[in-house]
């Protein structure tokens, strides 16, 4: 099997996304938490080409000539063809897809290009003035209907998380995989689940786990992260191994609090999607009334 045709650990769920009344084949990679889209299907919608396969062949060659690495990084995945058989087709993740769309000279691609330019400008503005990031988050949460109490709690979690990652940076922890390992250690120690398992409980994919926590879950997660930060500052660890042990200890402090909550209330603060939505809805209605 070539690198281009490597097997992707696709989860049990696949889907057909509808865009402009046409089908775009997609697949969800549960291991890496990515959506993959059929490039041919997207180009068929954007260009209305009678032969999107040929269009993709020419576009791919042009991009290669220009030195565009997006094409090189795209790989093949078996997807259901019109005849019902599983056939290999080129796919792109979200980032790759946006880059390809930028190279398509089509009126239908223009709204995407305008949106990407707008998002790019917003990110540059936020780098110059970080307070804009908080303002944007506030607006987003309010549009989604979260209560002001929950929003304030959520913003506090961002502050606590920043203090933790600053401490990890000081301890020589690498961003990316090492951050994920330590976050998993903390999450499992207090909730009994890895971050991935927690997201599965809440039926999440790309969505933020914290954005789908109740007030009590946010409090416990903050307790776990804040405790981890304080232990780390006190013991001055160096490297992943020492920090992982501290993350476990910090998480267990919140884990003990969770057990006490269960003992006192008879209810587990770790909630499924249905229970989370119900609690957030009740909180919103309480504020309105």
* Buried-state track 157-193, b at ≥16 Cβ within 10 A, e below 16: beebbebbbebbeebebeeeebeeebbbbbbbbbbee
Give the containing element (helix H, strand E) for 155: helix 148-170
The answer on pLDDT for 3 being more than 50 is no
Lowest mean pLDDT among 5-14, 123-132, 133-142, 247-256: 5-14
Query: What whole-number distance in Å separates Cα of residue 159 and Cα of residue 157?
Result: 5
Tokens of 118: 């707008």
pTM for this one?
A: 0.68
Greater confidence, 46 or 12? Answer: 46
Q: What average pLDDT does range 237-247 have in this prediction?
A: 95
Please give the pLDDT value at position 288: 53
The answer on pLDDT for 203 being more than 60 is yes
Please give the pLDDT value at position 33: 78
pLDDT tens for 41-90 read: 999 988 888 899 999 999 988 888 888 777 777 888 888 887 788 889 99
Confidence of residue 15 (pLDDT cuts 50, 70, 90): low
pLDDT tens for 151-199 read: 999 999 999 999 999 999 999 999 999 999 999 999 999 999 999 999 9
- Give percent above pLDDT 70 in the chain: 89
Taking CA atoms, 159 is separated from 5, 129, 232, 236, in Å, by 43, 17, 17, 21
Mean confidence (pLDDT) of the chain = 86
Query: Among 12-26, 107-121, 214-228, which range has the highest average pLDDT?
Result: 214-228
């Amino acid at each position: 099997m070539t690198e281009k045709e490597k097997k992707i650990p696709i989860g049990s769920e696949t889907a057909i996304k509808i865009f402009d009344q046409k089908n775009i084949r997609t697949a969800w990679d549960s291991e890496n938490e990515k959506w993959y889209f059929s490039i041919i299907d997207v180009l068929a919608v954007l260009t209305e080409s009678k032969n999107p396969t040929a269009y993709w062949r020419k576009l791919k060659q042009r991009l290669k000539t220009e030195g565009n690495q997006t094409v090189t990084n795209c790989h093949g995945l078996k997807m259901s063809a019109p005849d019902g058989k599983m056939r290999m087709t080129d796919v792109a993740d979200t980032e790759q897809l946006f880059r390809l769309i930028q190279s398509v000279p089509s009126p239908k691609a223009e709204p995407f290009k305008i949106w990407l330019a707008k998002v790019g400008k917003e990110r540059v503005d936020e780098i110059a003035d970080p307070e804009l990031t908080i303002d944007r988050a506030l607006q987003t949460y309010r549009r989604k209907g979260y209560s002001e109490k929950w929003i304030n709690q959520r913003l506090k979690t961002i502050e606590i998380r920043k203090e933790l990652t600053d401490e990890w940076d000081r301890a020589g922890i690498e961003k990316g995989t090492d951050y994920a390992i330590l976050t998993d250690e903390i999450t499992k120690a207090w909730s009994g689940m890895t971050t991935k398992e927690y997201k599965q409980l809440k039926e999440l994919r790309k969505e933020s786990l914290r954005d789908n926590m109740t007030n009590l879950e946010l409090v416990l997660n903050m307790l776990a992260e804040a405790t981890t930060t304080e232990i780390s500052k006190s013991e001055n660890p160096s490297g992943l191994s020492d920090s992982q042990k501290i993350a476990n200890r910090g998480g267990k402090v919140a884990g003990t609090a969770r057990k006490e909550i269960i003992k006192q209330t008879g209810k587990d603060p770790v909630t499924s999607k249905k229970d989370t939505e119900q609690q957030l809805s009740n909180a919103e209605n309480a504020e309105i009334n």
